[in-house]
A = this chain, B = another copy of it.
Amino acid sequence: MRLPLHHNTIQHPKHQTIQQNHPRRHSRLQLLVLISLTSFASSGESFVLDSILATTRSKAASSSCFLTTTLSMTAPSSKEHQGDNTDQPISSISNNSMNARSSSSSQSWRSLLEISMAKTRKIRGSNYVQLATVNTSREPRVRTVVFRGCLTVPKDHALSNTCHDTSSTDNNPPLSCLLKMCTDARSQKVEDNANQSTAELCWWFPKTSEQYRIRGELILVGTEEDDRALTIARKELWGNLSDPARESFLDTTHTPGQQWNDSHDESTVIIDIPKGGRDDEGKVVPPPDNFLLMLLNPSYCDYLCLSGNQYRQIDVLRNGQWSWQRVNP
């Protein structure tokens, strides 16, 4: 299997220069000092965009992913430092020395994702991801969807997909890898899924300059599902939607993608939708048939980190076990 290559697509140029121009220049003592400096300085580096559209010097907002990878095991509670020292000489760090500490990360993609989510959870839209499918004409389709957390199913469930890495303990149980979203049965991706169930999700974290490309089977759970765990999960997700989101699923009059017609807004039509998806007593109405729980059951993840020193890791699920290795970015 040839791995997907895309170091060319998004780059953090400054660090490549570092990597290439200062090999093996620092002692381990110097390194420790520099690690401390970096955690302050890396957030303020300049980031040169080549695009004709975005050339403004701006601040990155996170500490180095690489440092996160290597240090979070020993200092899990260390806070992010959001310095503004744009001229801090972080370019003097020896990438090579750093890498010697972790040529392979001790953390799976799932643990890394947990950290990325924790760092960005207060940012509006940080859980918006791009989901790609293939349609019946074998063409790619991709759209933004909302990631709605991971679903934990019983250990003996066919969809049980957990990640045990070195951080898994009794207190920190393995993390579920089953990604939860929802969709509408009228959506094109439902039609795509019937043809090709493999999907790929691209999750770009702007704050930390990290990308996860998560690949697996896309599973749709509707009203006719007979699996108890999935039926419960579908109902829970329905109940957790916002009132207006529920309304949108209950609005079966306005088929998405059909030509706009002002007469759609006749009050007579609108009245049929239970306000907020609730009954007269304020209780959430049952989910309509077109409301689908959408699960991505991953078997592969390509993780790329462009803040700090570039880092890339490929995680693969084989025989129910995740394993991972560091690869060239």
Contacts and interface: CB of A to CB of B under 8 A. Distances in A.
Interface string A131-152: 1111000111111111111000
Contact of A328 (B15, B143, B255): B255
Contacts of A95: 265
Contacts of A200: 132, 139-142
A50 B241 contact: yes
A8 B182 CA distance: 8
Nearest to A268: B23
A125 B140 CA distance: 24
A184 B6 CA distance: 7
Interface in A9-25: 9-11, 13-17, 19-21, 23-24
A131 B10 CA distance: 12
Interface in A43-61: 47-54, 56, 58-60
B255 A126 contact: no
A49 B125 CA distance: 8
Given A2-B257, A9-B183, A142 B132 contact: yes
Contacts of A3: 188, 257-258
Given A130-B142, A134-B139, A121 B54 contact: yes
Contacts of A211: 143-144
Contacts of A141: 4, 132, 140, 200, 213
Interface in A155-186: 181-184, 186
A6 B187 contact: yes
Given A149-B51, A245-B11, A4 B144 contact: no
A146 B240 contact: no
Contacts of A241: 50
A5 interface: yes
B196 A139 contact: yes
Contacts of A213: 141-143
Contacts of A8: 182-184, 186-187, 248-249, 256
Given A141-B4, A196-B140, A244-B17, A124 B202 contact: no
Contacts of A5: 184, 186-188, 255-257
Given A8-B256, A99-B262, 19 more contacts: A2-B191, A3-B188, A4-B141, A4-B143, A5-B187, A6-B184, A8-B183, A9-B187, A17-B276, A23-B270, A48-B242, A49-B127, A51-B148, A56-B122, A58-B123, A130-B130, A139-B215, A144-B211, A258-B327
28 contacts: A4-B141, A5-B184, A5-B186, A5-B256, A7-B248, A8-B182, A8-B184, A8-B248, A8-B249, A9-B145, A9-B146, A13-B243, A14-B244, A20-B247, A20-B270, A20-B275, A49-B124, A52-B149, A54-B126, A56-B122, A56-B124, A58-B123, A99-B265, A104-B260, A125-B206, A130-B204, A132-B141, A139-B200
Interface of A: 2-11, 13-17, 19-21, 23-24, 47-54, 56, 58-60, 95-96, 99-100, 103-104, 117, 121-128, 130-134, 138-149, 181-184, 186-189, 191, 196, 198-202, 204, 206, 209, 211, 213, 215, 240-245, 247-249, 251, 254-262, 264-267, 270, 273, 275-276, 312, 314, 325-329
